[in-house]
Chain A
Amino acid sequence: MSFDSTYTKELPLVESRSSFKELDDVIIGPTERKPSKKFLAAITISSTALLIGVVCVCFTLYYGIGMWGNNNPVGWGFDIVNFVFWIGIGHAGTLISAILFLFRQKWRTAIARFAEAMTIFAVMTAGIFPVLHTGRPWLAGYLIPYPNQNALWVNFTSPLLWDVFAVSTYLTISAVFWGIGLVPDIALMRDRTKSGIKKTIYKVLSLGWKNSNRNWQHYERAYLILAGISAPLVLSVHTIVSFDFAVSVIPGWHTTIFPPYFVAGAVFSGFGMVSTVLIFLRKIFDMEHIITINHIEKMNKILLATGSIVGYAYAMEFFIAWYSGNQFESFVFLNRAFGPYWWAYWIMVSCNVGFPQLFWFKKVRRSIAITLPLVILVNVGMWFERFVIIVTSLHRDFLPASWGMYTPTWVDGGILLGSFGMFFTLLLLFAKTFPSVSVAEIKAVTTGAQPSHNHLNNNAH
């Protein structure tokens, strides 16, 4: 083996020289086999969690929001914490599939499909909360602008309304993007399957895909356009979610740094979740040669970068609180770090800024055993970030006489658990139904797939 020493050799995106057939078998295989015991165990756990969530939601709908810990100074609690958390999780997928696609980051192919699915499921999970958190969810339709005989219109100055548009747009575009990306793979599944019913379904879903040159040309173009549409959405959704807070007058919320800080945080948490899930996925479905340790390392680098941006934002908030001389602002931040919720603040800082600093070490980045706890901590930390922003800002705002503490109830806990249950149940069902990695794309980046002028070198392997 010889290579030009002036270039760093690019690491192979797919390790081991698998044939296309082998790739097909590895990736599509799980969707064709009967569910394994591991899978059944996993879905039992996740659907139990989902069921607990459903029960808690029923309690909420029957008795009212009073079942939660929300109260007078703290009008939003776990409901909006969970909403922002899940929307944040939903950011990695589109970032990986759209932005990295536009930047021609080929390593994305191994993780894009799954990350996109996570995006959709996370946004679906998130979408439940804005409806559920209203006092009268049966009237949530009022948030949609529709002409009516009362000439009632929504309030376009409310960031909550912008959320409705932002999140629904994001969900729609992400779903379309994901669906389009699936077409060639579904066609492949259609061709492989022997079951009549499956064949019919795949036929419908593959939109008559024939693997023709024309198909591919249109597909690539459509994919590029959708990537272009999705890319700004990655930035806009969490920007708008951050407006929910930034537009208010509450110290600790009323901050101009929020949009970039939220987007960075969202990407950070999204990658945290993608890593968490992929580490299990590559193990369970034997895809360690497709989703390689190099992928993990790259994602860890992104975690380090975004985690540091988040850390910078934390520091900047304190700086501005001091520099502005605004006493309300300074109090809120002192109260965050040293008030009754100090523990939440320090969990947030250590998980989001402290521990990810370990990723400066290559050994840590390339160690699954260390990466896994760290990425889980990132998820924990980012959940607490939303908790800290929402609860600590509200619980002690302007008038000391109206201060109060927030204590979540078991229903809050149940719904949080249920949201994880919903997310993972959907994810498991997805992994069992559709290829978790884009077969068509992965084939394009396997070693030897590309036409090469250096025929000898390729043969040398």
Chain B
Amino acid sequence: MDKKINISGKILDNSSEEIIEKAIVIPEVPKPADPKDINYWRSFKELYSNPDFIRAKKLEFQPGELERPDVDKMSAFSRRKFLALMTASAAVAAAGCSNYKDRGEIIPYNRKPEEVTLGRPDYYASACDGCAAACGVLIKTREGRPIKVDGNPDHPVNKGKICSIGQASILNLYEPDRIKNPMLNGKDIKWQDADDKIITSLRSAASSGKEIAILTSKVISPSYKKVLDEFIAVYPTAKVYTYDQFNDNAKLSAWQKSYGTRNIPTIKFNEAKIILAVESDFLSTELNKVENVRLFAEGRDVFSEKDFNRLYSVEGAMTQTGMKADYRLRLRTDAMEDFVMSLLSEFITKKKISTFATDTKYGNAVSKYSIDEFAKKYGLDKSVLDHLVSDLEKNQGSSIVVGGESLAESTHIAINLLNDVIGGSKLYSSESIFEEVMPLSSKADIDNLVSDLNAGKIAVMINSDINPVYNFPTDYNFAEAYKKAALKISISELVNETTALSDYTLPGCNFMESWGDYKTRTNIVTLQQPVINPLYNSRQKEAMLLTWTKGNKDGYTYNLYHEYVKSTFEKDVFPSLKASADFNRFWFAALHDGFVVTKDKAKESTPYQGDNFTGSAGKSTASNDFVLLLNKHHSTGDGKYANNAWLQELPHPMSKIVWDNYAAVSVKTAKDLNLAGNSKDMINISNGNFKMEIPVFVQPGIADKMIVVETGQGRTVSGAIGQNVGFNANKLFSNTGVTPYLYYNVKADKSAGSYELVSTQEHHAIDDPVTQDLQFKRKIIREATYNEYKNNEEVLKEEEYVDGVLLEKFPSINQNNQFSTTDVKWAMVIDMNKCMGCNDCTIACMVENNIPVVGKDQVRVNREMHWLRIDRYYSGTPDAPKATFQPMLCQHCDNAPCENVCPVAATTHSPDGINGMAYNRCVGTRYCANNCPYKVRRFNYFNWRDRVADGFFQQQPIDQMFNPEVTVRSRGVMEKCTFCIQRVMDARMVASQEGRMVKGDDVTTACQDACNTSAIAFGDMNNKESEFNRYRTHKLSYTVLDDIKVKPNVTYIATLRNVYEASVHPEGNNPVKKDAETKTINPEGNKEGFKDSIKETHKDYTKEPVK
């Protein structure tokens, strides 16, 4: 070892090269004597002390390193170029990647629009165009996306409420099936090309004198009417036809014949004491339902000083109005006119009421009728008729008779007279009067249209947002006639039977993408403004017509109709208001409010004109054949909304059947037809030459020898949801009826077919002794008569006394009050007197809480997901059933039985009394659902969004529709009503920002907002001073299933039936009870009494509380 290297590798001693060579051959690694003296070497050359290495080591830089590089010798490939190419290729690679998760542009606001705060909703006032009522709405948008539609609280007609079609309209906007581009024979084309060709055709038609037909639904918009007028001015051969399959035309023309004007006043139902509905469903399906139910419910308010109104319903079908009636008479619809005439006879001839009695014209006309004979002939309950007559007589000036839209004009004329006789005309509102911007085309007009089409006289036919091939009476054979038009244009949001036969199919805008103004009342103009840009390449129908009127294919601009509505408003509305503000300010204020109240006055109506009152009803045929009544579908209307899955899955208020329509018949009729009842039977119905096979549903309460069918289903061309659902009952819809909806001499027999109807509620026989009236025996539904309640406010508590001790005082075993809090504790009250069973709340809940649709096959196996359902209970006999509706939702029990059984604590109680669900934690044992006495918990048996109609709810742009505040639940998770916890949390946040505690009235739930009659109240039960608490602790309030002591936080106000009762309640103000309330019992000290009381209690349960 002759070299020394220190620890840093520095060679201390340099030896000869020879040694190194040798060493390379035989590497001899020196072992340091001292462990610290380690030989760190980097290469053999260093290890063996190569002189080159030693030399190099002395130099800090290698030779040449310090010289400047020679540019010419370097590669031409520059660093810049290299980086540029690298970047470009990376970009190409990234762009070419098909799996790039591009979910559309997500761009933060560079400049935040005014009034938009991320995470906070904005509300815009607009108008719903779901039906001819044009309710004012408030559209909730989040980050520019509409997510919920509610009524505009300031709107004078609907006062913050809308119906289920309005609630569900949000789905129509995001419908994946919407037409996305203008199409010519099914192929996408450009707007300009379409406009160009259409304008050419229109011009040539106008010049050659050939007719241009525009078919549209009822025109309720002044601007739209102007557009049509201008169109006609440019193309003089154009004619406008308006058509609605379901309308109140008979009523309007009857009014004109009676009073000389078509401007019908609204009825002040809130001031009515006695209401008689003649085949009228004014509380549910008829126009102006939203206002009607609100006013009607004012007369059913337990807090009101006023007495309850009394509703009589005479009907052949089974409607919600009939179910809410205190007295319901079952009568075939063909006998309605006789019925009204008999009443007239009673008042005019017999009782000589009103000045009409002195006019012999009327006396002669009605004298042949008699109420007694009528009752005998139709087997009506005479005592009920007596009550009715005496009620109407006694309450002259505060009684009203309402005729249904399906009745004939002559019947309405008679009803008008009856109202004048009994002073019902005093309840006609003088302020709120319906006005028609443009009346519907008469039958003769439509006849002409069809014959012109058949004669080939029509060069261009424009269907503006209407589906005549489906909705026109069958005898027109419209599909064939339509094909004869030279150019067929259909404007529609969705494909339908008419677009399928059209040359041009032009995508219309949803109402949330449109401008508009609507005038349904004399003094109210409701404005419509878009809340989102058109999702697709669509234009609103008015703008299309305007473009064609301009005659310039490039005439369309985005603001075309916006400016038009604004200028109409400026010219027609603004001057009459004599406002001090300038127009622009006024316009924005009007848009903000959503409506303006003008000073327009309706045309004065003349006194009743007897000339048209012929008194010759003659329509009633007591023949042995069937009477057929066609109604519009309870949820999808005339079929326009058949593609709305929410509406399809909305249970029928009476039968609870979903995704279908059927022929409803009475129990006796079913027997006559040899039907087994509630099975899969079908019948053949033949209405003259028109026949169809349809499933039967045995509906208690329908008049014998009557068939009630809802149309609006059986669409053959629709989106993925609505196609081939149910049966097309328009096959029976023809011009052969007494009215478009009523047909006599209809034949029916059992057919060989079978078909399964599915419903959300099990049907069991009404008169089965085991299940009969369980709702009363189990104290699910509690009822009293209005008189009983007036005599003794404690009428409900009466049955709760056992041996003079209030049942509530019995201690419940082994229960704690761990959820009692002195802070806010949320609770709900539902007034069953005001609940009309309409399901509007159900839809609102679905929209608010992203509740999935499950489809017909899954409802069949009881897997519907509605968090809030309306339970319908029958009592009485199948012929004269009484029904009660009960909204049922999570009761948020204090001692919630679901909570203690969840193994993973996924459902727990919040300190403010809400029974919550932690979806993330839920493993889906379904134990909670089993243990729920109210069965309100819903389980995601499948990934419903993927399952319904091949993933309909997973398609774009439906994902934009969901409420971002509410989690979309995955498969295998339990869900249920949360009292709209997202709204509660929102209110908490606002309160905490304002530095205060949250208050009971800070929060409204979605169902509460939607309830047309404000039957639902939500608030803080610990705020003893609040209005809400007054409601909650009302003498008529009760909780469902008290006995099991789960302590629900939803209370119900018992139904009061305002039946005719002169007598005073015999046990009124029983003094024993007053003492009893203060008496408490000690179970230890008074065991004997306790036991006996318990027995007594059970004896009481078996008693029916209401006789």
Question: Interface residues, chain A, CB within 8 Å of chain B?
Answer: 63-66, 69-76, 133-137, 139-140, 142-143, 152-155, 157-161, 164, 244, 247-250, 324-328, 331, 334-335, 338, 394, 397-405, 407
Contacts and interface: CB of A to CB of B under 8 A. Distances in A.
In the A-B complex, list the 8 residue pairs whose CB atoms are closest, starting with the nearest: A135-B924, A135-B972, A401-B871, A66-B941, A75-B926, A325-B1098, A402-B935, A71-B862
A71 B972 contact: no
A72 B929 contact: yes
A409 B939 CA distance: 18
Contacts of A394: 930
Contacts of B947: 66
A84 to B, nearest CB: 14
A76 to B, nearest CB: 6
A154 B1043 CA distance: 30
Interface in B366-401: none
B901 A160 contact: yes
Interface stretch (B34-42, B262-270, B638-646, B773-781): B773-781
B590 interface: no
A64 B923 contact: no
B863 interface: yes
A248 B897 contact: yes
Contact of A327 (B871, B925, B933, B1102): B1102
Contact of B921 (A63, A152, A402): A152
B774 A154 contact: no
Given A65-B941, A72-B863, A401-B872, A249 B903 contact: no
Given A135-B973, A399-B933, A331 B926 contact: no
Contact of A140 (B764, B923, B1041): B923
Among A153, A161, A400: residue with most chain B CB under 10 A? A400
B819 interface: no
Contacts of B927: 75-76, 158, 160, 244
Contact of B902 (A155, A327, A400): A155
B1000 to A, nearest CB: 28
A399 B934 contact: yes
Contacts of A160: 901-903, 925, 927
Given A72-B939, A135-B924, A152 B1098 contact: no
Given A136-B923, A327-B778, A250 B903 contact: no
Contact of A400 (B764, B903, B1044): B764
A124 B502 CA distance: 65
10 contacts: A64-B972, A135-B941, A136-B972, A154-B905, A155-B900, A324-B1098, A325-B1095, A398-B934, A399-B1040, A400-B873
A153 B906 CA distance: 10
B971 interface: yes
B904 A143 contact: yes
B931 A250 contact: yes
B225 interface: no
Contact of A249 (B771, B777, B933, B972): B933
A134 B972 contact: yes
Interface string B958-993: 000000000000111110000000000000000000
B935 A142 contact: no
Contacts of B777: 327
B1093 interface: no
Interface of B: 761-762, 764, 770-771, 774-775, 777-778, 780, 858, 861-864, 869, 871-873, 886, 888, 897, 900-905, 921-927, 929-931, 933-935, 938-943, 947, 970-974, 1040-1041, 1043-1044, 1046, 1095, 1098-1099, 1101-1102
Contacts of A154: 903-905
B924 A136 contact: yes
B930 A66 contact: no
A142 B921 CA distance: 8
Contacts of A250: 930-931, 933
Contact of B888 (A397, A401, A404): A401
Nearest to B924: A135
Contacts of B921: 142, 152
Nearest to A162: B903
A399 B901 CA distance: 20
Contact of A331 (B770, B861, B1043): B770
A158 B933 contact: no
A66 B871 CA distance: 24
A72 B930 contact: no
Contacts of A397: 933, 935
Nearest to B777: A327
Contacts of A140: 923
B925 A133 contact: yes
A254 B332 CA distance: 49
Given A158-B903, A160-B901, A248-B897, A136 B943 contact: no
Given A154-B904, A160-B925, A328-B778, A249 B931 contact: yes
A75 B929 contact: yes
Contacts of A324: 1098
A138 B1098 CA distance: 47
A159 B971 CA distance: 24
A135 B922 contact: yes
Contact of B900 (A76, A157, A399, A404): A157
Given A249-B1044, A327-B777, A64 B942 contact: yes
A139 B923 contact: yes
A169 B970 CA distance: 33
B905 A249 contact: no
Contacts of B926: 65, 70, 75-76, 133, 135
Given A134-B925, A140-B923, A398 B933 contact: yes
Given A64-B972, A71-B862, A142 B923 contact: yes
Contacts of A334: 770
Given A66-B942, A400-B764, A401-B761, 10 more contacts: A64-B972, A66-B858, A142-B903, A324-B1098, A327-B1098, A335-B770, A398-B933, A399-B933, A401-B888, A402-B761
A325 B1095 CA distance: 7
Nearest to A327: B1101
Nearest to B900: A157
Given A64-B972, A66-B941, A135-B940, A158 B935 contact: no
Nearest to A394: B930
A36 to B, nearest CB: 44
A331 B1101 CA distance: 13
A217 to B, nearest CB: 44
Contacts of B780: 398-400
A143 B933 contact: no
A405 B970 CA distance: 25
Contacts of B940: 64, 135
A394 B764 CA distance: 17
Contacts of A157: 900-901
Given A136-B972, A160-B903, A402 B871 contact: yes
Nearest to B1096: A325
Nearest to B931: A248
Contact of A158 (B869, B901, B938, B1040): B901
B923 A71 contact: no
A24 to B, nearest CB: 48
A247 B935 contact: no
Among A73, A338, A398: residue with most chain B CB under 10 A? A398
A244 B973 CA distance: 20
A334 B941 CA distance: 30
Among A76, A327, A394: residue with most chain B CB under 10 A? A327
Nearest to B863: A71
A335 B770 CA distance: 9
A240 B1043 CA distance: 26
Contacts of A248: 897, 901, 930-931
A404 B901 contact: no
Nearest to A393: B930
B1098 A249 contact: no
Contacts of A71: 861-863, 941
B929 A247 contact: no
A424 B905 CA distance: 37
